[in-house]
Amino acid sequence: MNRTVKKYVIALLILLLFAFTLGACGNNADNAGVTATTAAAATTAAPAATEAAEESAEEPAATEAAAATTAAPTTAAAATTAAVNTAPVDKVVSLQIFDSLANQSGVIESWWNDYFKENTGVELDFMPSGDQSDMKIAALLASGELPDLVVIANKQQMIDAVAAGLVVNFDGHKDALPEVYKHIPTGIQYSRDDLSNGTGGLYYLPGFVGPSETGDQCNWGPMLRWDLYKELGSPDINDLEDYLTIVKNMQELYPETEDGQKVYGFSLFGDWDGETMLLACQPACIFGVDTGDQLGSMPFLQVDFKTGAISSILEKDSMYIRALQFYFDANQMGLLDPDSLTQRFDTAMEKADAGRVLFQWWPWMVTTYNNSRASEAAVNGYCAVTPKNYKPFYWDDNPVGMFGYFAIGSATKELDACLRFINFMYTPEALFELQNGPKGLTWDINSEGLPYVTDFGLQCRENDEIVPGGGYIWDGVSVINIKGLSEGFIVPAYNAPISNEMWETWQNREMTNLKKDWQAVTGFKSPTEKNITTGEYTMLPFSIQLAPPQPNDIEQIKTSVGDVVRTASWQMVFASDQAEFDRLYQDMADKANGLGVAQVLEWSKATYTDCANLASKYGG
Decide if 292 contacts 281 (C-beta within 8 A): yes
Distance CA 224, CA 227 (A): 9
Specify the number of domains making up the chain.
Answer: 3
What tens digit of pLDDT does each residue of 295-325 get? 989 999 999 999 999 999 999 999 999 999 9
Averaged pLDDT for residues 394-414? 94
Q: Helix, strand, or coil here: 261?
A: coil
Q: What sign has the CA pseudo-torsion 584, 586, 589, 591?
A: negative
Choose the final residue of a domain: 447, 479, 503.
Answer: 503
Q: Does residue 620 or residue 147 have the better pLDDT?
A: 147
Identify whether 1 is part of a domain: no
Q: Which of 492, 496, 402 is nearest to 182 (CA)?
A: 492
407 and 485 within one domain: yes
Decide if 151 contacts 99 (C-beta within 8 A): yes
Q: Which domain holds residue 345?
A: 223-268+279-289+312-396+507-543
Identify whether 35 is part of a domain: no
Identify whether 489 is part of a domain: yes
Helices (H), 406-454: 415-424, 428-436
Q: Which of 167, 181, 236 is nearest to 209 (CA)?
A: 181
pTM for the complete prediction?
0.80
pLDDT at 335: 98
Identify whether 30 is part of a domain: no
What tens digit of pLDDT does each residue of 369-378 get? 998 887 777 8
CATH of the domain at 391: 3.40.190
CATH of the domain at 105: 3.40.190.10
pLDDT at 371: 85
Q: Which of 202, 157, 142, 154 is nearest to 177 (CA)?
A: 202
Decide if 227 contacts 390 (C-beta within 8 A): no
**Largest Cα–Cα distance of the chain, in whole Å?**
76
What tens digit of pLDDT does each residue of 39-81 get? 333 333 333 333 333 333 333 333 333 333 333 333 333 333 3
Identify whether 597 is part of a domain: yes
Cα dihedral 273, 371, 392, 35 in deg (nearest 10) = 20
Q: How confident is the model at residue 279 (pLDDT cuts 50, 70, 90)?
A: very high
What tens digit of pLDDT does each residue of 535-590 get? 999 999 999 999 999 999 999 999 999 999 999 999 999 999 999 999 999 999 99
In this structure, the number of other CB atoms found within 10 A of the CB of residue 591 comes to 17
380 and 439 within one domain: no
pLDDT at 84: 54
Identify whether 56 is part of a domain: no
322 and 346 within one domain: yes
pLDDT at 103: 79
Choose the final residue of a domain: 483, 503, 523.
Answer: 503
Q: What is the average pLDDT score of the chain? A: 86
Percent of the chain with pLDDT over 90: 75
530 and 390 within one domain: yes
525 and 435 within one domain: no
pLDDT at 89: 66
Q: Which of 480, 501, 473 is nearest to 403 (CA)?
A: 480
Distance CA 472, CA 464 (A): 7
572 and 482 within one domain: no
Which residues, at least 6 apart from 542, have a Cβ–Cβ distance to it below 8 Å? 395, 396, 397, 398, 399, 400, 402, 615, 618, 620
Averaged pLDDT for residues 608-618? 94
Amino acid found at 406? F
Residue 120 dihedral angles phi and psi, to the nearest 5°: -125, -15
**Partner residues linked to 126 by β-bridges:** 97, 106
